[in-house]
């Protein structure tokens, strides 16, 4: 049983189908997002006109062909270690022998007043990108601010710039990409 349907879960599935032990396992994946794993690293390329389907690491048929049961749009909310069961948001329970957690990470939003208002976005999923694009189109937005001048902040700023908005990046460190660059590099 694999919880999380992202890039790591997909990598795990690829490895397990090549394993000589494959026949010992039935494999089921529960992913919260509405589609199979995709190349999140190239998320921004969707704006350049790339099709969503091109970003998929494997099609649904691939999972079927390899005997992997894939559930998308299904969030697992509880693990019952004693009973060896996982529980989903609909109250459903699924038994497991071995459990793999490949749940990745979520964008962490600082507790900034107003961060939950409309027009404030995180940037991690295809849905986030679509929400930004729709908002810009609907509101005919012209300006934007990106909080965080790390790799993802810069990537988000490029996305917004490509949508035709002017962008201000706000970074608490003295320079951009503080995790990657030392003071000399920033200067
Ligand atoms: C725009 C962007 C650009 C990036 N560029 C780079 C790059 O250039 N180089 C690089 O190394 N990395 C990059 N990254 C980071 C990279 O995408 C992640 O490191 C990678 O996606 C991690 O894969 P993962 O499977 O561990 O996690 P994720 O991709 O986060 O996948 C985890 C999945 O599990 C699902 N999930 C979580 N909890 C549950 C639950 N309870 N039940 C069911 N499903 C659940 C999530 O919805 C998600 O689909 C980038 C990320 C973004 C957003």
Task: Locate the ligand 1 atom nearest the alpha carbon of residue 105 and give its number.
Answer: 30
Q: What is the pLDDT along the chain (187 residues), one digit of tens a residue?
A: 999 999 999 999 999 999 999 999 999 999 999 999 999 999 999 988 899 999 999 999 999 999 999 999 999 999 999 999 999 988 899 999 999 999 999 999 989 999 999 999 999 999 999 999 999 999 999 999 999 999 999 999 999 999 999 999 999 999 999 999 998 888 8
Q: Are residues 93 and 18 in the same domain?
A: yes
Residue 55 maps to a domain? yes
pLDDT of residue 175: 93
CA 61 / ligand 1 centre spacing (Å) = 22
Q: Are residues 86 and 7 in the same domain?
A: yes
For atom 16 of ligand 1, the residue with the nearest CA is 41
Q: Are residues 75 and 157 in the same domain?
A: no
Task: Locate the ligand 1 atom nearest the alpha carbon of residue 155 and give its number.
Answer: 1
Whether the CB of 43 sits within 6 Å of ligand 1: yes
Q: Are residues 90 and 11 in the same domain?
A: yes
- The pTM (predicted TM-score) of the whole model is 0.94
Of 38, 68, 101, the one marking the end of a domain is 101
Q: Are residues 23 and 70 in the same domain?
A: yes
Angstrom distance (rounded) from CA 180 to CA 147: 17
Q: Are residues 147 and 80 in the same domain?
A: no
pLDDT of residue 54: 96
In what side-by-side order are the strands of the sheet with 100-101? 68-71, 27-30, 2-3, 100-101
Q: Are residues 86 and 142 in the same domain?
A: no
Q: Are residues 79 and 139 in the same domain?
A: no
Q: Are residues 133 and 58 in the same domain?
A: no
Residue 121 maps to a domain? no
End-to-end CA distance of the chain: 49
Residue 117 maps to a domain? no
Q: Are residues 8 and 93 in the same domain?
A: yes
Report how many domains make up the chain. Answer: 2
Q: What is the CATH number of the domain that holds 177?
A: 3.50.50.60
Angstrom distance (rounded) from CA 44 to CA 22: 35
pLDDT of residue 183: 87
Angstrom distance (rounded) from CA 91 to CA 93: 7
In degrees rounded to 5, what are phi and psi of residue 184?
Answer: -65, -40
Residue 81 maps to a domain? yes
Q: Are residues 9 and 94 in the same domain?
A: yes
Q: Given the structure tokens 């048929």, which residue do they identify?
A: 61
Residue 108 maps to a domain? no
pLDDT of residue 153: 95
Whether the CB of 9 sits within 6 Å of ligand 1: yes
Instruction: Write the CA distances from 185 to 2, 8, 28, 175, integer angstroms.
Output: 41, 32, 46, 9
Q: Which of 13, 35, 40 to mutate to test the pocket of ligand 1 (most atoms within 8 A of CB)?
A: 40
Handedness of CA 149, 151, 156, 160 (dihedral sign): positive
Q: Are residues 94 and 131 in the same domain?
A: no
Residue 51 maps to a domain? yes
Q: Which of 2, 3, 41 to mutate to test the pocket of ligand 1 (most atoms within 8 A of CB)?
A: 41
pLDDT of residue 47: 85
CA 3 / ligand 1 centre spacing (Å) = 13
Residue 157: which domain range?
Answer: 126-186
pLDDT of residue 142: 97
């Amino acid at each position: 049983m694999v919880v999380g349907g992202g890039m790591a879960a997909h990598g795990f599935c690829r490895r397990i189908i090549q394993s000589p032990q494959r026949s010992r396992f039935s494999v089921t994946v529960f992913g919260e997002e509405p589609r199979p794993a995709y190349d999140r690293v190239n998320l921004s390329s969707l704006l350049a006109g790339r099709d969503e389907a091109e970003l998929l690491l494997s099609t649904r048929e691939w999972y079927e062909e390899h005997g992997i049961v894939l559930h998308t749009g299904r969030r697992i909310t509880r693990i019952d270690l004693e009973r060896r069961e996982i529980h989903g948001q609909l109250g459903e329970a699924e038994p497991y022998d071995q459990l793999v957690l490949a749940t990745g990470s979520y964008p962490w939003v600082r507790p900034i007043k107003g961060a939950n208002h409309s027009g404030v976005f995180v940037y991690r999923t295809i849905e986030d990108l679509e929400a930004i694009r729709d908002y810009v189109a609907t509101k005919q937005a012209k300006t934007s601010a990106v909080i965080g001048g790390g790799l993802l902040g810069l990537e988000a700023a490029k996305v917004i710039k490509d949508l035709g908005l002017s962008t201000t990046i706000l970074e608490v460190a003295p320079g951009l990409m503080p995790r990657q660059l030392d003071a000399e590099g920033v200067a």
